[in-house]
Structure formats: structure tokens, C-alpha cells
């Protein structure tokens, strides 16, 4: 049995033996071209440095003002957590909790877990709870939305400059550095390297061989650490993660989440996203109405961003996932790689639809000027947040291996050179 690490591609289930990689190199699945692993130079030192820097910047961001505005002699400033607090104050506690989780709580937990895990690796110690924390890292990544929130801050500044004087607070630079360091930390975390450093690598099942799918060999790749396990195992032998459930059930679950998101997308567009109360009266703004207001004020770039994030992305994600579900129910062997690219795009773009919710929360937190002007969140904010979350979960639940089901019976065997994962820089 080879001493090289064996992996089953999480997207097409093709079994490969990973080559020995140098820093900066990556290995791609020979079948669907998904990146299986990527090696970094001095991974432990870099991750520790960026994670510690990000956590320090987070601590510096919290106590100081993030933004302020002045209008007609009225001055208002907010700290980072006020964006979430504004939702609590306006009787939307779930939205407030969602915002706090995605920009402060979950990123903070992620950074502390990274520091603990890589600290254990650097000290060559087996600290308690490393398996639990390492399993948690991959599940937290999609919900870290500080970069989306930063774009929401910039859009809010562009919107409010037309009605008030907006200033950036002391913590804005710290927040930008926090986002930069966090994004860099996430990109440097190598799950394959980390699990080997923490728990080494067990031998694959004796029947395993490359150039075929794991399912055809009675084995399954762990979705967390990548280790090959026997199909009858309920939990991974290395990381103890649950090895998943039946693919047909996952397809039904994907349809259920998509249907729920379609139902909620209707009130998300019919009900107001924001309610503006002024001396002259009350203005109710839907998502489309907010885009039209931006166009009327000449903010064309902001209008395009909001329209794309709030209309194009959710609809495109629902349509693409529905199309993939239909193909998965009756798979065909043609153009499977193109379908995989569509699936990967849906995973990447879905979270950016949260921009509109973040813009609303920041605007509501700032614009509480009493009798002159006050802005409140509308019912559409909750419905739209639910649409974004449901479509994200649908993409996570969907099993892309189903797209290759018919290709498995018609796929021509690879030669010895094609069986090896592709190198990349």
C-alpha cells in the first residue's frame, strides 16, 4: 500500500493519490479539475501571524466609533455592534443576532480556534478538543461575512452622503485591517495539512485504488478531513465527523430549501425593506424602490451593486440549483465539468446577497434623528435574509456527485498519467 495520502474528490468522488507538493503548488482532481489541496510556505507561522493580527484588530474595532453623521445640527455615531443592536431595538432580534454572528461572534470563534489549533501544531502538543475545533473550522467558513459587511459600509456611506455629512470613525481602519487579515487567514488554512499535523494519516481501506469512484469501491471520503473510510462506518476514523447521509435524501432536501426560498422571495420584494419617517411623511422603500432611488440620485454604481446582489444573484442561484437538481435526478454524461463550474459559482456568490441587509442595518443605526428623519427596518429584511440563508444551505446540502452518476457507467478509464492529480501553481 502506498504511503501517499489518498483522497476521494468531494465533487465527483474520483479517488486519487496526492503527489508530494512543494510550497505554492496545488493538486487538482484529474476528473473534474477541482482543487484537492494547496500547499503554503510556512503554513503554521503565517496562519498564526494573520489570525492573531485579525483578532487584535477585532478587539480594537469594537470599542471605538465606526461611523458618524451630522445633519441639521444633529450628530450621531455608531460602533460596530450598533448595526446589530439597531435590529434588536426595532423588534427584529433574529436579524440582530444574524448580523452579530456573521461579523463578530463567528469570526471571533474562528480566529480563536485557529490560534488554538495551530498553536498546538507549533508546540507539537496534543491539546484537548482539537478534533472538535478542527471539524468546526470548515463549517464556519461560509458564515464569515466581514468582507460583505465592509462593502455594505461603503455602500451606506455612498447613500447617506446625499442627505447628511458622513465621517469615518477611529475604528474604521482597524475594521478594514480586521477584514483583510481574516480573509487572508481563511485562505491560508489548509485542512489537509492541518489534519495530518494534528492526527497524522491512517492507511486507506485495502480495496481502495485510484482511477475509479469511491462509491464503486465501497468506500467514502470524509467531508471534513478527507480520509478514506469504509462505507459502513458512520463516523470518520480520524476526525470522528459524521460521514453523511444518502444522496437522494440530500437532493430532496435541496429542493425543499429552494422551494422555501422561492416562497419567501415574494414577500421579500413586495414588502418594504426600509421605512423612512420625515417631517413630510412616511416613505416605504422596497428593494426595487431603493435601487430606483439610487438611480434618481445619480448613484449608478451603487444601484448596479444592489440590483445585482438583491435581484440577479438570488434568482440566478435558485435557477442554477434547480437546473442542477433536475440534472441530478436524471443525470447525463455530457458537459459535466461545465455543470461543476456552475455549482462552484453558486457556492461563491450566494453570501454576497447579504449586502442589502447590512446596508439596512447600518442606515437604521445611523439615521435615528428624531423629528427630522428616522429610518426603520421593514418586514422584507427578514424575508430576504431568510432567502439568502436558505439558498446558501441548499448549495451546501446539494450533492454534486449525483451529477456524475450516469458518467460513472460511461466514463472511459484513465491511463496511468491521467490518473494522477494535476499540478498547479
What rounded mean pLDDT belongs to the chain?
85
Global pTM value = 0.88
Which among 3, 35, 32 is positioned nearest to 423, based on CA atoms? Answer: 35
Burial class of residue 109 in the structure, from the number of CB atoms within 10 Å of its CB (0-12 exposed, 13-18 middle, 19+ buried) = middle
275-284 mean pLDDT: 78
Q: What is the pLDDT of residue 271?
A: 92
- pLDDT tens digit string along 41-93? 888 899 999 999 999 999 999 999 988 877 766 777 888 998 899 899 888 89
Average pLDDT over residues 352-366: 89
Confidence of residue 425 (pLDDT cuts 50, 70, 90): very low
- pLDDT above 70: percentage of residues in the chain: 90
Burial of 344 (C-beta count, 10 Å sphere; 0-12/13-18/19+): middle
Q: Is the pLDDT of residue 1 over 70?
A: no
What share of the chain has pLDDT > 90, as a percent? Answer: 33
> What top-level class would CATH report for the domain 246-411?
mainly alpha
Residue 114 reports pLDDT greater than 80: yes
Q: What's the CA gap between 170 and 313, in Å, rounded?
A: 33
What local confidence, expressed as pLDDT, does residue 162 receive? 72
Q: Of the ranges 131-135, 180-184, 280-284, 407-411, which one carries the lowest mean pLDDT score?
A: 407-411
pLDDT at position 392: 93
CA 169-170-175 angle, 5° bins = 90
pLDDT, tens only, 360-371: 898 888 876 554
Specify the pLDDT at position 372. 60
User: Does residue 192 contact residue 201 with C-beta atoms inside 8 Å?
Assistant: no
Domain ranges of the chain: 40-201+238-243, 246-411
Question: Does residue 263 register a pLDDT over 80?
Answer: yes
Amino acid at each position: 500500500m502506498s504511503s501517499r495520502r489518498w483522497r476521494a474528490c468531494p465533487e465527483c468522488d474520483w479517488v486519487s493519490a496526492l503527489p508530494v507538493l512543494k510550497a505554492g503548488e496545488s493538486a487538482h482532481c484529474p476528473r473534474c479539475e477541482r482543487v484537492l489541496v494547496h500547499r503554503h510556505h510556512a503554513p503554521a507561522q503565517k496562519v498564526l501571524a494573520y489570525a492573531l493580527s485579525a483578532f487584535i484588530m477585532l478587539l480594537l474595532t469594537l470599542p471605538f466609533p465606526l461611523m458618524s453623521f451630522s445633519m441639521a445640527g444633529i450628530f450621531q455615531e455608531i460602533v460596530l455592534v450598533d448595526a446589530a443592536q439597531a435590529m434588536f431595538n426595532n423588534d427584529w432580534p433574529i436579524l440582530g443576532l444574524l448580523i452579530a454572528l456573521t461579523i463578530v461572534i463567528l469570526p471571533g470563534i474562528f480566529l480563536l480556534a485557529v490560534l488554538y489549533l495551530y498553536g498546538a501544531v507549533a508546540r507539537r502538543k496534543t491539546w484537548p478538543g482539537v478534533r472538535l475545533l478542527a471539524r468546526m473550522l470548515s463549517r464556519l467558513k461560509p458564515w464569515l461575512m466581514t468582507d460583505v459587511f465592509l462593502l455594505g459600509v461603503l455602500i451606506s456611506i455612498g447613500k447617506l452622503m446625499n442627505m447628511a455629512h458622513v465621517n469615518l470613525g477611529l475604528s474604521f481602519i482597524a475594521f478594514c485591517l480586521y477584514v483583510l487579515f481574516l480573509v487572508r487567514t481563511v485562505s491560508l488554512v489548509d485542512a489537509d495539512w492541518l489534519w495530518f499535523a494534528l492526527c497524522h494519516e491512517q492507511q486507506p481501506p485495502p480495496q481502495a485504488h485510484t482511477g475509479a469512484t469511491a462509491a464503486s469501491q465501497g468506500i467514502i471520503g470524509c467531508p471534513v478531513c478527507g480520509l478514506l473510510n469504509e462505507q459502513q462506518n458512520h463516523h470518520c476514523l480520524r476526525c470522528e465527523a459524521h460521514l453523511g447521509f444518502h444522496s437522494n435524501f440530500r437532493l430532496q432536501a435541496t429542493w425543499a430549501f429552494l422551494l422555501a426560498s422561492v416562497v419567501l422571495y415574494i414577500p421579500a420584494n413586495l414588502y418594504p425593506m426600509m421605512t423612512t419617517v420625515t417631517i413630510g411623511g412616511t416613505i416605504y422603500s422596497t428593494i426595487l424602490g431603493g435601487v430606483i432611488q439610487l438611480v434618481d440620485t445619480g448613484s449608478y454604481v451603487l444601484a448596479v451593486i444592489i440590483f445585482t446582489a438583491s435581484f440577479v444573484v438570488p434568482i440566478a442561484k435558485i435557477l442554477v440549483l434547480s437546473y442542477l437538481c433536475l440534472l441530478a435526478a436524471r443525470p447525463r454524461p455530457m458537459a459535466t465539468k461545465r455543470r461543476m463550474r456552475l455549482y462552484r459559482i453558486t457556492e461563491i456568490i450566494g453570501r454576497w446577497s447579504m449586502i442589502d441587509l447590512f446596508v439596512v442595518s447600518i442606515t437604521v443605526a445611523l439615521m435615528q434623528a428624531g423629528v427630522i428623519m428616522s429610518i426603520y427596518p421593514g418586514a422584507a429584511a427578514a424575508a430576504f435574509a431568510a432567502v439568502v440563508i436558505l439558498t446558501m444551505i441548499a448549495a451546501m446540502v446539494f450533492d454534486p456527485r449525483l451529477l456524475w452518476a450516469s458518467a460513472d457507467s460511461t466514463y472511459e478509464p484513465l491511463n496511468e498519467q491521467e490518473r494522477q492529480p494535476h499540478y498547479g501553481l
